[in-house]
Amino acid sequence: MELIVYLAGQIHDDWRNQLKEKADGMQLPVTFVGPMENHERSDNIGEEILGQQPNSILKDEAASKFNNLRTRILLRKSDVVIALFGEKYRQWNSAMDAATAIALNKPLILIRPASLHHALKEISEKAQVTVETPDQALAALSYIFEE
């Protein structure tokens, strides 16, 4: 039995790759999916497919459609969602992906620093588990497969 894990959350550092490598090392039967992590590509995808748009607002709208196409399909395919929140950004997309996971009845593993406890308390309460580091999230994933 394999699980598909969607990695929601910030795309500003390398946390996904580190998580994937560790999961490989643990030989977990897991496939990871997630949003486009190349920030520039993510912002430009609308114009790259549809051609130049009249202004930056329409450029953004075009990009968001293709990003949401990707997210919708991959999120529905997944069995569990891991969402990482950091301190630097507003990360409304992360909140939206986390809430979508919850509403689709897919269990959410929330990763956030202790400092964000108050701001994220309602999301945390809806998550299946809340941890502080990607390693803890990985330990939770691993626990599902233990015999």
Compute the distance between CA of residue 137 and CA of residue 59 in angstroms, rounded to an integer.
35
**Interface with its own copies in residues 103-122 (CB under 8 A):** 103-105, 107, 109, 117-122
Smallest separation, CB 113 to its own copies (Å): 13
Q: Buried (b) or exposed (e) across 86-108, using 16+ Cβ within 10 A?
A: beeeebebbbebbebbbeeebeb
Please select the residue that binds its own copies; options are 39, 61, 113, 115, rule is CB under 8 A: 61
Site string for its own copies, 15-34 (x = CB under 8 A): ----------------x-x-
Which residue, 81, 85, 83, 39, is CA-closest to 63?
A: 39
Binding site for its own copies (CB under 8 A): 1, 3-4, 31, 33, 36-37, 41, 45, 48-50, 54, 56-57, 60-61, 63-74, 76-77, 79-80, 90-93, 95-100, 102-105, 107, 109, 117-126, 128-129, 131-132, 136, 139-140, 143-144, 146-147
